[in-house]
Structures are given as C-alpha cells and as structure tokens.
A and B are shown apart, each in its own frame.
Chain A
Amino acid sequence: MSKYAAAQKQAEPAVLQPTPQPKDDFQEELVVRPLHSGDIYASFQFRTLWETDFMRGNKVSHYRLFPKSLGQVISKFSVRELHISFTQGYWRTMQWGQPYLPSPPGAELWVWFQDSVTDVDATWKELTNVLSGIFCASLNFIDSTNTVQPSASFKPLGIGNVTDHRFLRYATLPREIVCTENLTPWKKLLPCGSKAGLAVLLKSEKLFHSSFHSQAVHIRPVCQDWQCKTTSWELRQTLNVVFDLHNSGQGKREWSLFKMFSRTLTEACPLASSSKIYIDITDNPEQFELSPATSLLSQAMVLGDRRTFSVYDLTQQDTFGSVRSLNLLIRWKSTEGDMLRPLLHAERYVAGYGLQTGEIHTLMYNHHPYRSFPVLLLDSVPWYLRLYIHTLTVTSKGKDNKPSYIHYQPSKDRVRPHLLEMLVQLPPNSVTEVTVQFERALLKWTEYTPDPNHGFYVGSSVISSLVPSTVAMDTNSTRERPLFSSFFPCKEESSYFVRVYTEPLLVNLPTPDFSMPYNVICLTCTVVAVGYGSLYNLLTRSFQIEEPSPGLAKRIANVIRKMRGVPPL
C-alpha cells in the first residue's frame, strides 16, 4: 500500500500544475550495425515506462501508452517479471558477434511470479494460455514436460529481492515457427501501432526476408529515479533482424533504410518522448561510408567494447532534410568471409548413430588469450531422452574439469524434463566439452507427433556468463584515454554479461511404421467382412426351394382356369 501512497503523494503536486506531468513515457530507438560478414543488423527497441501499481488488488483501468492486454496479464497473474521471445533462425556468433539481446530459436518464455502467488504451476499454466492468445503463438504447448525452474541461470533483471526459484518458470518451444501472425499482435502493443515513428519500417514482407528475425517483450519493474523511491513498470519491446547481403544485395554492397524495410522515415511517433536512430560507425571509415552524415556522435560501452554511434534524432525536423524523408545509406567497402573469434561461443550436437543410444556434446569456447571465466550452463532435456548422468564428463584441454556447482533434477517420464545446471570454469583459450550419453525412449503410440520421422526437438542450452571485456583485454589502450584513467581496469568495463544459446537439437526416436496399423486394420476388416460375413450368411440363412416361375402361357391359362373355378395347373 505504501508504494501506492507514495505514488499518490508524488502525483498530488502535479494536480496543482496547469499541465499534469504524465506518469508514462515512451521511447523508441533503432540501432543499425553493419556486421563483419557484410550483413546488416537492425535492432529496434521500444520502451514504455509507467509509474503505476498493478498489484495488491489495485484495479487499474485507465491505460494510455501501456497496452491494456499486458497490464491485465500482470495484475491477474501477479507477474513480477515476464520475458518472452520469438525467434526464427539462429544467431551466428562466429560471423555476427554478440547480439544486443540474445534469444534461442523458437519461443522462449520465462516468468518470475510475485511471492504472493500460492499455486505457481496453475498460474503458469493459465498465463501461458493467455499469452498464447495475445501473441498468436503455440505457447499453450508449454506444460510440465517442458517447464523447468532454473536455480541460477535466470535471475530477475528488474528490482526486487525475491530470488527464490520456486517463483520462476522457464520454458522453450524450439519448434515454434515465427511469422507475420506473431508480428501483428506484437506491433499492436505499440502506442503508435505501425502508423508512425520507427514502427512504420516493420513490414513483414521485408522482416521475414532476412537471415534472422527475433522479436521479444520484456516486462519488469524498474526504479523511477536514481533514488529508487518508487518503482515503475517497464515494457520493452525489441525486434532484431539481420539482413543478408547475398540474398538482397544483387552483388552491390549497399544498404539503405529503403532497401532494408522498403520504407523511409518521415516522422517520429508523436507520443514518443525520444526517437532516435543509432548507426554503429566504430569501423568507419575503413569499412563503409554513411550518408547523410550527422554531427551527433555518441559513445557507449556495448558488450565490453567501446563503440561509437552516429545519432539521428527523429524529433528534430532538420533530420529529415529538405525532402521530408530520411533514408540512410551505407556503402560497404570491406571484404567478407573470415570468421570472428567472439570471446564466448558455444555449439552443440548429437553424436553416435543408431536409434538406441546417443551422446549430447556441448562445446564451449573461451577465446580470451589469458583469462579464464566461469559460465553457467543450463540444459533442459525432454524426458524421452533418458540421460545417463553417470556418463557426464566435462573436459577442457584434455583434462577433467570439475564443475564447482551442479544442480541436477532427474526427469520423470511424461511429467517433467531433465534439468542440468553447472558452473564451469573455462580456462583461457580453450574448448570445454560437456558430454552426456542418453538412451532414446520408446514412446506410446499416441505420444508421437503427426510427423514422427521429422524428429523430436531438444531446446537450446543456455550459457550465462560474465565475460571479461575486450577493452580490458586491450593492454595498450592508452590511445584515446588519458593516462591517469588507464592504470587500473575500470570495474564496469572489466566484464560484461553475456548469454549464449546453442542450437537446438533434432533427435530421431525409434519410430514404428505407422502405416502398418492402417494396413492391418484394412486387412482385418476385409477378412472380417469377407470371411465372417459369408460364413454368418451361410449359417443364419434358411434355404427354401423356390418354384420356377410359370411361363406366360401357363399364367394366362391359370387366370382363365381361376375364372372358370377350376384349380390352377
């Protein structure tokens, strides 16, 4: 109640003022990063902040910028934090570097509930069904067999001190296919819809003509100001897309807003307090050139690297120039092809052959030349792959690498999946291999999917880590900075948080020949119909000798005889 009262108190002086300060705020932002491989990465972020309290029976009925559908979800299900992402494609870390917001292929949902929730599982089930409707996705397939409660990998990103993982639920649907029907409801959550602002660029025919597409919604409580006296709700809608140079380039190494989105920008969203485009020009001018040029520059630490951005403020009219439209153009110079060496990188595959057993290999690469760092590995494996946990090995550089923390929850058939969480120290410049053998279960015949020969999916492993930053790695970084600042590595810059998702796995299970039961049914029916039918017919029918029908002459004769009163022939 106190929080609400505080909010009321803050609002009181506003009443006195002629223009009441709105308690909600909307910002939009587009970051464009030309990638090393020649592809281009566009990341949209739309942030709505609202200073309100959904909790404790507080009926919120007046919505302005914040979407009502999500507000109702938060209050009805006592959600403290909600993160949902829909991704089509796999982020290619080796060519593209780290994404701003990582997400696994398919759908991912993780939710922290308030500690007031008594039956978390039931609430979770209801919530997934509601979200399924809101986002037009198959989230209703989330049930106990693919939900886990990670103990360490997913911590709340907002404020709050509840870290009891009983209130956390995490699920992925690696098979979920993301398309226009998921984009449309996502766009409708925006205050301006797709009518104005950056959202006009979100045309599905271009967004889905790309190498990678990911859209997400993150809801969390954040501090309203630096004192953190009051909290407000933050809704962050993000959309990441990577366009392929080869598919749409026609050989020309040139990108423009129009070419990427088949639209140009003419205005900012009128409801937005800030509307900006950032272009990552750190590699400029060796690799590409940008037009129109802007004098506004901004520096930021992104993923442990100091990047420089050109900033275009859409709220300023002169950004659009004389033609009243902004079409950024990037001309590419560099050559492509060679791989990056991101500091942390992971991959996963199934080893072995045959349909009885197999082995899951997870490889984690630490490319840092001299620093080791710990990573948290989260593996959630469906029950129909029966993990032989005694075969779990972790090796780096040919030696056994003992994890300092292991949390393993065995699966229960048809009830819950395996959950394996490990804290592993990755030695510098090494590959750490985690292997575990499994046996493929034979499912009941109703448990097979309609396309059993496609295989069964195993969701991505999640690797969370604090990675030493590249700036700290740079030993002679005295070029730009004054000498006094460069002796001790700065804390903020020394490491940064990275989450890496491995590829999902497609595993074939022993599959019966499903056409065989059909054949058997057909054969049995035929045998029953022909064999049993005719036998039954023979047994039940009573046979009589039928007199042959008399000829025409005889019949006429009989009629005459009848008329005469003589017995017929």
Chain B
Amino acid sequence: MGLLSDPNRRRALINLLTRLNAPICGMPVEWLVKTMQARGLEVYTQRFSRTLPFPDENKERYMVKGTNVYGILRAPRAPRTEALVLSAPCTPGDNNNQAVGLLLGLAQYFRNQIYWAKDIIFLVNDHDLIGMQAWLEGYHHTNTTGMDWSPLQGRGGSIQAALSLELSSDVVTSMDLVLEGLNGQLPNLDLANLFYAFCQKIGVLCTIQGKLQRNDWDSVSGYSHAVQTMMLMVMKQASGRPWGDHGLFLRYHIEAATIKGINSFRQYKTDATTIGRLLEGMYRKLNNLLERLHQSYFFYLMPSLSHFVSIGYYMPAFGLLAVILLLRALDLWVQLATPPPTTEDGIADIEQSSPGVLSVLTPLVISHLTGAALYMLPIRFQEMAVEHFPVSETEAVVLTAIAVYTAGLALPHNTHRLLSGEGTEQGWRVLKLVALLYLAVLLGCTALINFSLGFILALTLVPAAAFVTPHVPKVLSAFVLVILSPACTLLFSVFFFQELQEMPVSFLDGWLLYLSVISQGILDHFLYGSLVYPLIALLVYPCWLLFWNILFWK
C-alpha cells in the first residue's frame, strides 16, 4: 500500500486534514469544486430541493435546499461502463470534516495511480440522506419520492459498489461497519468480509453495531455478547430505515456499506492515514472485480464481524412460528367442515352453517378503512390539528396517528352496528380462519423481504392470533391483545433497543423517543420510500383489528 510508504504524500494528507479542521461544512460548494478540479477530477454539481411533509424535529429541517458536489476520476483506458462511489456526507457544522478531507486526500492519491479499471466517483452529499437520494435519483433518472433535482451532467456507467464514510470525531479508535439499508436490505456479505479482512490486515479495530468481536464463543458471556450484537442488527433491520448513506444505494442493486469512525475512548488511536489505507485497499479490491458482488449471501444476520447466520438457519425459526397459524387455520377448517353435534334442534344448525359473506366482509372492509385512515390522516390533518391544538406540526402528525390507532379499537361496536343480526358461532370461526390465513401470508411475505420485521411481528402477533376467541375472559384478553398490538411492539422495541445499546432510558424519555420514532418512520416513507409505515398501517394493523374484532364477537 503506497499511501503510508510515501512520506510526501502522507505529509500532504495531514496538511489537508489540518486545514480542514477549520469549519468548512455547510457545503462550501465553490471551494469543493475548485479543490476537486485541482486534483484532476471531472467535477459536477447537482442542486436539489425538497419540502418535507412535516418538519423533521430531530434534524431540524423542513424546506431543504442543497447542492451535491461530485468529482469523477476517469479510469485510464476504461470505456465509462463501470464505476465505484466513495461518498462523505457534509453535514452542517463540522461533524464530518475529517471524512471530507480524507475523501479529497484519497482523490488526489487515487488520481495518480494507473491501475484503475473503473471510474471512481467522489461524492460529497449535502443534507446526508436527502442529498444522497437526490443524487441517486438523478444518476438513475428516476423519481420515486417527488424530489426536485437538477439533472446530472457527468456519469460513470453502472455503479458496482459504494462506500460511505463518516468520521464523527477527530479522534478515531475503531471503525464500525453499517450494513442495514432501506427496507432492511443488506449488501452482499462479501462486502462485510472485505472490510473485515482489510481491518485485520492493517490492524484496525473493527466493530459491527459498535461491538467488538469476542473470542470466547463457548462462554455464556461471550455468547450473550454475540446475541446482543445480533439482536441489535435485527432491531435495526426491522426498522426498515437506512442506517447510513449507503442504505439508499441498495435499491439500485449497488452493494454499499457505511464505514464509521468511532471514538470509543480506547488507548489505541487510528490516524487518518490508516483509514486511508483501509479504503485504498478496499477500493483496489473492488476495482479488480470482474463481476458485481454476488457470490455470497444477501440474507444474513451477523452476531460478529467474522460470523454470520445465514438464511438457512434463521428461516426455520420463523417457519415454526408461521406453522402455528397454519395449524390453527387447519383446525378451524376442520371444525367448520364437520357438522356440529345435533343435540339441539336442527334449525339453529342451518343458521349456523351459513354465516353469510357480509359478516366476514364487513369487519375486513372496516378494519382496512381504519388502516387507510391511519395512513392518510396524520399528514392530511396536520394543519388543522396545529390550528386547533397547541402542538407543533410533528407532534400533530404523531398524535393524530396515535389517535386514529386508538380510535380503531372501537371498531367492534361499529361493526356490530352495521351487521344486522348477532354474530354466529360459525361467523367468528370463518372470520378467524380468514384472518389467520391473511396473517400467515402477510408475515410470510414480510419475512422474505425483511426477515427481522417479519420475525418481530410474528413473535407478537402469532400468540395473539392463536389464542383469541370470543370465549376467553374479555378484560384480560383485551389487555393482552393490546400489549401484543403493533404499536406496543414498537414501544417495547424502542426500550429493548436502548437496552441493547446499553443506553437505558426512563419511561418518559422512552415515550418521547417513541413519538420521534413514529415521526421518523413516517418521514422515512415519504422521503426515501421506506415501506414499514404503509405496511403497518395498511396491512398489519387491519389484520390485528380483525383479531380484536373476534375477541368482541357477539
């Protein structure tokens, strides 16, 4: 690796980095353009603007306007068909100056090398994910989220792989790999292996989920450490949000990961040159690829950086959960098919055997309408809510969502008002059969796309679905059913996630966090096209309402 061996280059890089410690972010577009041009890159800019559906209180932004700057290093004697991307978000403040500096340093170093076979795009994206979304949409000329962007002038062909660099502090002790992308998509496992191999080679401490690998696998504490790491990955994947700028690349079939420099206050410090060597090594490996990364797994969970649990191991666990639903459905099917014992008069039997389409269809339609309301109303009614209540827009959206959700609990009464007669014994069985099959299909599909989300939903919904009948004690069952509802699952997940991260929160903080998680989930959907919010609102919640309906069947 030449970067460290050449003292001149090393000095130049350090000079650049020290100069960058002066706050440059807030995107000094002209400076970046000039600096990249001086390094012999083809430089282009892209302007974009986006008005959020409601203000994002976490990042304090509402009407976003920004400029992405990217420079393309043209590989010699390459026909512009393939490219690699190295990106660094340039956030307001000087959070990521080190990463931008390192990116420019690497650009200068890479420019003087002759071995590049793929164009390398150095991208400094404004407003982190929004800028990245604008750039990717511009590059692929798609518009999935209704953002305004100016068309890109220069391209490098089909992007093969991408890395996003975040160095949040000046002192870096370890490098953390972030894999979880939009909708729980993961890059090919070989990208993680590549990172791990180079960290081992260069001697950088590397972590995943911020957790170091431990060697004592057989001990209880080592095992629980690995489980903790894996559960963190499960929670992050289930959230369906991009956990770094790389997350948006995955939609375009581009293998991508975020590399974060972390200051965990250890003795051993990693300087920028070492990180540069790490990146140089990774890019040279990626540059040598003849095909896209495809040989390894796309579906995996990682209990540590060097170990993974493949889909073949974790899917049976989910399968066993889903089988409960199918067995229950089969049981109901058999019960419905066998005529009830004719101890009583035959007239009731005839009535019972034909529950009528209406008694099944009505709850189905009403619960889905409630779901649609949960999906539509929070955004639509934010202005009205702000006018009438002393809340901000964000609070209005979240509280409307919770209000609609809670209002849905009154559904059984409404259903019964619509239904002409009383619900029959057969009626709830048919409804439950439909609901069970519905849930099985729903969870099955979800688990195929985003295993973690499907698994967490299955863990809570399957017991509820299995036990609920109109004949169980009402109050207790209602309480259990509410506890196992998707919203409460989310609440527990928030606390559980904080616990896993070893940052326990008080109940009040947890509640506030919960509210912000809901708003973030809604924003993720509208900004990046995350599917978790519509999935919960339009499908999972109505399905849960069906079971709620069965409990209060009359």
Q: Are A210 and B37 in contact (CB under 8 A)?
A: no
Q: Are A503 and B74 in contact (CB under 8 A)?
A: no
Question: Closest chain A residue to B80 by CB distance?
Answer: A503
Asked if B307 is at the interface (CB within 8 A of a chain A CB), the reply is: no
Asked if B504 is at the interface (CB within 8 A of a chain A CB), the reply is: no
Among B76, B114, B253, B292, the residue within 8 A (CB) of A89 is: B76
* Interface members, chain A 240-260 (any B CB < 8 Å): 244-247
Once bound together, how far apart are the Cα atoms of A337 and B38, in whole Å?
7
Q: A506-B157, A508-B253 are in contact. Are A90 and B78 (CB under 8 A)?
A: yes
Asked if A225 is at the interface (CB within 8 A of a chain B CB), the reply is: no
Which of B82, B111, B251, B292 has the largest number of chain A CB atoms within 10 A? B292
Among A89, A339, A350, A507, the residue within 8 A (CB) of B78 is: A89
Range for the number of chain B residues in contact with chain A = 20 to 34
Total A-B pairs in contact (CB under 8 Å)? 96
Asked if A351 is at the interface (CB within 8 A of a chain B CB), the reply is: yes
Q: Are A95 and B114 in contact (CB under 8 A)?
A: no
Once bound together, how far apart are the Cα atoms of A508 and B252, in whole Å?
11
Contacts of A212 in B (CB 8 A): 76-77
Once bound together, how far apart are the Cα atoms of A337 and B71, in whole Å?
11
Once bound together, how far apart are the Cα atoms of A213 and B173, in whole Å?
45
Once bound together, how far apart are the Cα atoms of A213 and B77, in whole Å?
7
Asked if A355 is at the interface (CB within 8 A of a chain B CB), the reply is: yes
Q: A210-B77, A503-B81 are in contact. Are A451 and B291 (CB under 8 A)?
A: yes
Q: Are A506 and B81 in contact (CB under 8 A)?
A: yes
Contacts of A503 in B (CB 8 A): 79-81, 157
Once bound together, how far apart are the Cα atoms of A52 and B74, in whole Å?
46
Of A228-236, A453-461, A477-485, A490-498, the segment with at least 4 beta carbons within 8 Å of chain B is A453-461
Range for the number of chain A residues in contact with chain B = 35 or more
Asked if B284 is at the interface (CB within 8 A of a chain A CB), the reply is: no
* Interface members, chain A 192-243 (any B CB < 8 Å): 208-213
Q: Are B142 and A351 in contact (CB under 8 A)?
A: yes
* Interface members, chain A 333-370 (any B CB < 8 Å): 336-339, 347, 349-355, 359, 361
Q: Are A351 and B81 in contact (CB under 8 A)?
A: no
Q: Are A336 and B40 in contact (CB under 8 A)?
A: yes
Once bound together, how far apart are the Cα atoms of A247 and B116, in whole Å?
11
Q: Are B253 and A353 in contact (CB under 8 A)?
A: yes
B288 CB to nearest A CB, Å = 13
Once bound together, how far apart are the Cα atoms of A60 and B113, in whole Å?
50
Asked if B380 is at the interface (CB within 8 A of a chain A CB), the reply is: no
Asked if B280 is at the interface (CB within 8 A of a chain A CB), the reply is: no
Q: Are A209 and B142 in contact (CB under 8 A)?
A: no
Contacts of B76 in A (CB 8 A): 89, 210-212, 244, 247
Which of B80, B251, B294 has the largest number of chain A CB atoms within 10 A? B80
Q: Are B40 and A246 in contact (CB under 8 A)?
A: yes
Contacts of A359 in B (CB 8 A): 141
Contacts of A275 in B (CB 8 A): none
Question: Closest chain A residue to B112 by CB distance?
Answer: A246
Once bound together, how far apart are the Cα atoms of A455 and B158, in whole Å?
9
* Interface members, chain B 33-61 (any A CB < 8 Å): 37-38, 40, 42
Once bound together, how far apart are the Cα atoms of A245 and B157, in whole Å?
24
Asked if B384 is at the interface (CB within 8 A of a chain A CB), the reply is: no
Asked if B476 is at the interface (CB within 8 A of a chain A CB), the reply is: no
Among A94, A244, A352, A515, the residue within 8 A (CB) of B140 is: A352
B150 CB to nearest A CB, Å = 12
Asked if B269 is at the interface (CB within 8 A of a chain A CB), the reply is: no
Q: Are B42 and A95 in contact (CB under 8 A)?
A: yes
A412 CB to nearest B CB, Å = 26
Once bound together, how far apart are the Cα atoms of A504 and B158, in whole Å?
11
Asked if A105 is at the interface (CB within 8 A of a chain B CB), the reply is: yes
B325 CB to nearest A CB, Å = 29
Among A89, A350, A352, A505, the residue within 8 A (CB) of B77 is: A89
Asked if A432 is at the interface (CB within 8 A of a chain B CB), the reply is: no
Once bound together, how far apart are the Cα atoms of A317 and B157, in whole Å?
50
Asked if A88 is at the interface (CB within 8 A of a chain B CB), the reply is: yes
Contacts of A468 in B (CB 8 A): none
Q: Are B114 and A247 in contact (CB under 8 A)?
A: yes
Contacts of B290 in A (CB 8 A): 451, 454
Contacts of B252 in A (CB 8 A): 353
* Interface members, chain B 287-335 (any A CB < 8 Å): 290-292, 294-295
Contacts of B277 in A (CB 8 A): none
A488 CB to nearest B CB, Å = 37
Question: Closest chain A residue to B293 by CB distance?
Answer: A453
Asked if B416 is at the interface (CB within 8 A of a chain A CB), the reply is: no
Q: A209-B114, A352-B141, A454-B291 are in contact. Are A94 and B79 (CB under 8 A)?
A: no
Q: Are B253 and A349 in contact (CB under 8 A)?
A: no
Asked if A106 is at the interface (CB within 8 A of a chain B CB), the reply is: yes
A232 CB to nearest B CB, Å = 35
Asked if A554 is at the interface (CB within 8 A of a chain B CB), the reply is: no
Asked if A92 is at the interface (CB within 8 A of a chain B CB), the reply is: yes
Contacts of A338 in B (CB 8 A): 37
A239 CB to nearest B CB, Å = 14
Can you report 6 residue pairs joining A to B where beta carbons are below 8 Å apart? A95-B42, A353-B253, A455-B81, A503-B80, A505-B158, A515-B295
For the complex of A and B, the 6 pairs showing the least CB-CB separation, nearest first, are A105-B79, A351-B141, A453-B291, A337-B37, A89-B77, A506-B81
Q: Report B's interface with A, CB cutoff 8 A.
A: 37-38, 40, 42, 74, 76-82, 111-114, 140-142, 155, 157-158, 251-253, 290-292, 294-295
* Apart from the given pairs A92-B74, A503-B81, 19 other A-B contacts in the complex at a CB distance below 8 Å: A89-B79, A90-B79, A90-B80, A209-B114, A211-B77, A247-B76, A247-B114, A336-B40, A352-B142, A353-B251, A353-B253, A354-B253, A355-B253, A453-B291, A454-B291, A505-B158, A506-B82, A506-B157, A507-B158
